[in-house]
Amino acid sequence: GLVNTKEMFARAIKGGWAVPAFNFNNLEQLQAIIQASSNLKSPVILQVSKGARKYANPTLLRYMAEGAVEYAKELGCNHPEIVLHLDHGDSFETCKDCVDFGFSSVMIDGSALPYEENIALTKKVVDYAHQFGVTVEGELGVLAGVEDDVVAEESHYTKPEEVVDFATRTGVDSLAISIGTSHGAYKFKPEQCTRDPKTGHLVPPPLAFDVLAAVEEQLPGFPIVLHGSSSVPQEYVDIINKFGGKLPDAVGIPEDQLTKASESAVCKINIDSDSRLAFTAGVRETLAEHPEYFDPRQYCGKAREYMVDLYSHKIKDVLHSDNKL
């Protein structure tokens, strides 16, 4: 069956790698995630957002995730470690619903709340979830949003002096922190970046590794999570733009920084946008080259191939979670 995050996080921290947390809301994404993680013998976290549950139907998603464990075995992975995790739970009720619905892990994102309210809400979710062996991720520090005027402003970073108090008083199993990542395909404004003189591509400022180190010093060996960790691969952006898309100056987190983070206390890395880009690149390319196609399997099949490549690359070359089962 599905497992919680406890054991895999302990192994990941010890071994200096990170568990991939991939969002899914449709069949092809799920197939691609399971194919890549099974072939490479990687633990994997299937993340479902509130929006994904609304889009795909909670019951269908639940059984898809449970079916994924059987599918992994069919693919020759005899001991799959698959987590079904609620991404960005926004209330006690949403988290409770997911616990009751068979999720093995939930996130309660109280990061936008005042500190004491974040603690109270997170503790309430922990107290409920732990009765059922469900692990809980909390968050301290605010990730800049795509719409925010101030992107990755320093004052949004996690305050290292708060993490011990937060972790002890809430009892969370892992902590998401803010060190300069953000959600989506536009993580930095062009004026925050420099430009590669050869390619003209944006080069983003580095993540705040000093904040990560300070957090780790406060909470040695504690599982740390990075959201907003898509790298926005230029090859997919180029394909999308070549075949009718318009994603000017999309920019993500360079992969070497994600590897560096996963070698330290970071043991879960969240990736959603990159999968969306791979999917869209596959669809746009196939439909542009084959205007006669109208069977979704033709263009979704290509999208799935691109996603398998993407997930495999993340597992093998970036997070080093392969051969860990």
Catalytic residues: 87
Please name which of 314, 319, 247, 313 lies closest in space to residue 277, comparing C-alpha atoms: 247
Touching ligand G3H, residues 58-97 (CB under 6 A): 87-88
Two tokens at 134?
A: 């469900």
* Alpha-carbon gap, residue 299 to 277, rounded angstroms: 14
Q: Which of 94, 123, 89 is nearest to 108 (CA)?
A: 89
> Toward Zn ion, which CB reaches closer, 41 or 227?
227
User: Which residue among 40, 52, 265, 267 contacts ligand G3H (CB under 6 A)?
Assistant: 52
Pairing of the two strands 194-195 and 202-203: antiparallel
b/e per residue, 45-72, with b = 16+ CB within 10 A? bbbbbbebbeebeeeebbebbeebbebb
3-state secondary structure 232-275: CCHHHHHHHHHCCCCCCCCECCCHHHHHHHHCCCEEEEEECHHH
Q: Which one, 21 or 167, has the nearer CB to Zn ion? A: 21
Rounded to a whole number of angstroms, the minimum distance from the CB of residue 228 to Zn ion is 6
Residue 51's SS3 state is helix
Instruction: Say how far apart CA 316 and CA 34 lie, in whole Å.
Output: 14
Instruction: Find the binder of ligand G3H among 272, 275, 303, 304 (CB under 6 A).
Output: 272
Q: Which does 271 bind (CB under 5 to 8 A by kind): Zn ion, ligand G3H, ligand 13P, none?
A: ligand 13P
Give the contact letters, 147-186, x = binds to ligand G3H (CB under 6 A), - = no.
------------------------------------x---
Provide, rounded to whole angstroms, the least separation between the CB of residue 170 and ligand G3H.
Answer: 21
229 interface partner picked from ligand 13P, ligand G3H, Zn ion, none, CB below 5 to 8 A per type: ligand 13P
Does residue 41 interact with Zn ion by CB under 5 A? no
For 56-70, the DSSP string reads H-HHHHHHHHHHHHH
Q: How far is CA 91 from the centre of its chain?
A: 20
Does residue 7 contact residue 19 with C-beta atoms inside 8 Å?
no
43 binds, among ligand 13P, Zn ion, ligand G3H, none (CB under 5 to 8 A by kind): none
Minimum CB separation of residue 205 from ligand 13P in Å reads 16
- Which range in 3-11, 26-34, 45-53, 308-316 contacts ligand G3H by CB under 6 A? 45-53
- To the nearest 10 degrees (0 to 180), the angle between helices 163-170 and 115-129 is 40
Which residue has 């909390």 as its token pair?
138
51 binds, among ligand 13P, ligand G3H, Zn ion, none (CB under 5 to 8 A by kind): ligand G3H
Q: Among 4, 23, 104, 181, which residue sits at the site for ligand G3H (rule: CB under 6 A)?
A: 23
The span of 15-23, 200-208, 223-231, 295-303 binding Zn ion (CB under 5 A) equals 223-231
Neighbours of 208 (CB within 10 A): 18
Residue ranges in contact with ligand 13P by CB under 6 A: 23, 87-88, 183-184, 227-230, 270-274
Q: Which residues within the stretch 225-284 sit at the binding site for Zn ion (CB under 5 A)?
A: 227
Q: Which does 52 bind (CB under 5 to 8 A by kind): ligand G3H, Zn ion, ligand 13P, none?
A: ligand G3H
Binding site for Zn ion (CB under 5 A): 227
Binding site for ligand G3H (CB under 6 A): 23, 49, 51-52, 87-88, 183, 272
